[in-house]
Amino acid sequence: QGLKLAVRPVAASHRPHAPPRPIAREMAIAAARPIRIGTDCSGMEAPVMAIRNLKVAHKHVFSCDIDKNSKKTIEANYDHDIFYDDLCKRDNKAAPKVDLYVAGFPCQPFSSAGKQQGFADERGRGTVFWSVRDYIDCKQPKVFILENVVGLTTIQGGQYYKDIKQSLLDLGTYNLYDKILNTKDHGVP
C-alpha cells in the first residue's frame, strides 16, 4: 500500500474543498505544448513510463536519484535533459521549472517494516522530503505528486504525515488531495 498526494494550484474560483477533477486530463487539455515533467527520487522512472504509455505529449526535463543503479536504468531507457545525482545538494533555484513534478521520497524512515525513525532517520533519509518541498516552493510546478508508504500516515500517530501535509498547505498555492492506494487494486501484485 502506498500514499499518493496530488495537488493543483489554488484558483480564485476554487473552493478549498471542491471535489478534485481528473488532473491528467485537465493538464493534457490545457497543454499547448508537451507537458514538462521532472522527477526526484526517480527510481526506475515509473511516472515517465506511465506518461509515455498513455501517449501524453511530454518533455522529460530532469530525473534525480542517488542510487547508481537507478541512474544506469534511467540513462539507458529515458531521454531526459538533466540527471541530478543528489536532490539534497541541488540548487533548486537554478533547477529547471516543470509542469508536473513527481517525487517518491525515501520510505524506509516511515515504513512499519523499518525502524520508524521518521525525520530523525540515522541515515538522513527522513529529511529528504524537505528538499522535495524546497523544489516545489522555488519552482511552483502546476501539479505535483508525492508518493510514500502508508506507514507515513500511521507511525507516531500520523504526526509525520500531518507535518508534511501542513508544510505543503503553508505554501499557500495549492489545493491538496490525498489518497491511500493499494497496488493490488491496480494490477500490481
As annotated, the active-site residues are 107
Residue 111 and residue 106: Cα distance in Å, rounded?
9
| 35-40: strand order across its sheet | 82-84, 58-64, 35-40, 100-103, 143-149, 2-9, 174-181
DSSP string, 149-175: EGGGGTGGGGHHHHHHHHHHHTTSSEE
Residue 182 and residue 185: Cα distance in Å, rounded?
6
Q: Which residues, 6 or more positions from 24, have their beta carbon under 8 angstroms from its beta carbon?
A: 54, 56
